[in-house]
């Protein structure tokens, strides 16, 4: 752990989980989602559905207007080559949702994260040096089998097959990767600072990092019902690893070189909802809306 931020509230009443808060307010519906899709899905209703949408719009506006990211609305279905480029295939194939399409020999997958499509915007390209850095943001559904998480977080919204996430990606000169990683981390942290949610930042050891990463910070939010911090974002520098797989280069005075790529959650929406609901709960089961989010929630004070 390299830093902590925010004040953990001392509740003078019995803390409710996000599941209890959702059931009390009739906003989180797992019974219907099981009938529709099975386990690890959720139906959000009324103000809870609006809260999900509000968080997405708030995060997009922050990353675009405050930090200068370029918004992308990408495809949610990609081919095998694109998944290989960012490192999802072949190593993590068991965690991917593959689509069966008629009359096609080309494999197609639902995206597990917008990182896959945003990073591949530079695929098989030779960029001009003055085009860098390129910084992209997208809010998309993400689809994961969670194959390695059997028995973990089976209740609630912590670990689902389908969830929204706001993703940040940078395409840069690789010599600036570590500086850019610090910048990206600050962008993700700013969301939690604005919402006044307690969090900590952890620098991962090499054994805990993702397949493509050279350096990774995790951001973990305080979840009162569990009395512990839970991961809400990983911000990683991948150096030129993904660029070499994608064939993404830029022109320099010494010839063409591979770009550097970085990605980070800015943030995972479901887990942000959990943290917001639980940290802002009141004794009567209502949830206070943080001041920076009110304009996205029709100026509601509580739900």
Strands (E), the chain: 3-5, 28-29, 43-44, 70-71, 77-79, 98-99, 108-110, 126-127, 134-143, 162-172, 199-203, 215-223, 228-237, 249-252, 255-258, 260-268
Residues 40, 135, 183, 271: which is the catalytic one?
A: 271
Residues 24, 53, 107, 159: which is the catalytic one?
A: 159
* Residue 148 buriedness (CB in 10 A; 0-12 / 13-18 / 19+): exposed
Which tokens sit at 258?
Answer: 């591979």
Element (H, E) at 8: none
Catalytic site includes residue 135: no
Catalytic site includes residue 234: yes
Residues 107, 231, 286, 288: which is the catalytic one?
A: 231
Q: Are 204 and 216 in contact (CB under 8 A)?
A: yes
Catalytic site includes residue 271: yes
Residues 33, 170, 212, 234: which is the catalytic one?
A: 234
Catalytic site includes residue 159: yes
Which tokens sit at 160?
Answer: 């689902």
Catalytic site includes residue 193: no
User: Active-site residues: which are they?
Assistant: 144, 159, 231, 234, 271
């Amino acid at each position: 752990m390299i830093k902590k931020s925010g004040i953990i509230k001392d509740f003078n009443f019995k803390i409710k989980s996000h599941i209890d808060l959702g059931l009390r307010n009739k906003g989180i519906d797992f019974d219907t989602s099981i009938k529709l899709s099975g386990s690890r899905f959720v139906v959000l209703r009324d103000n809870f559905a609006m809260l999900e949408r509000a968080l997405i719009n708030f995060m997009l506006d922050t990353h675009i207007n405050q930090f200068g990211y370029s918004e992308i609305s990408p495809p949610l279905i990609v081919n095998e080559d694109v998944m290989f480029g960012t490192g999802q295939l072949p190593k993590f194939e068991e965690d991917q949702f593959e689509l069966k399409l008629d009359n096609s020999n080309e494999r197609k997958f639902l995206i597990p994260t917008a990182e896959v499509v945003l990073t591949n915007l530079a695929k098989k390209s030779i960029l001009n040096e003055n085009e860098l850095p390129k910084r992209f943001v997208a809010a998309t559904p993400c689809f994961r089998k969670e194959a390695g998480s059997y028995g973990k977080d089976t209740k609630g919204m912590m670990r689902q097959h389908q969830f929204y996430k706001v993703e940040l990606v940078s395409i840069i000169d690789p010599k600036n990767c570590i500086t850019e990683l610090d910048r990206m981390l600050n962008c993700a942290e700013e969301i939690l600072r604005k919402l006044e949610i307690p969090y900590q930042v952890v620098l991962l050891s090499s054994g805990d990092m993702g397949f493509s990463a050279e350096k990774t910070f995790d951001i973990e939010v305080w979840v009162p019902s569990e009395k512990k911090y839970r991961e809400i974002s990983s911000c990683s520098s991948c150096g030129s690893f993904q660029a070499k797989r994608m064939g993404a280069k830029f022109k320099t005075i010494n010839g063409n070189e591979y770009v550097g790529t970085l990605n980070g959650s800015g943030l995972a929406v479901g887990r942000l909802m959990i943290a917001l609901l639980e940290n802002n709960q009141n004794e009567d089961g209502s949830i206070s809306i943080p001041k920076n989010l009110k304009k996205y929630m029709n100026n509601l004070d509580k739900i």
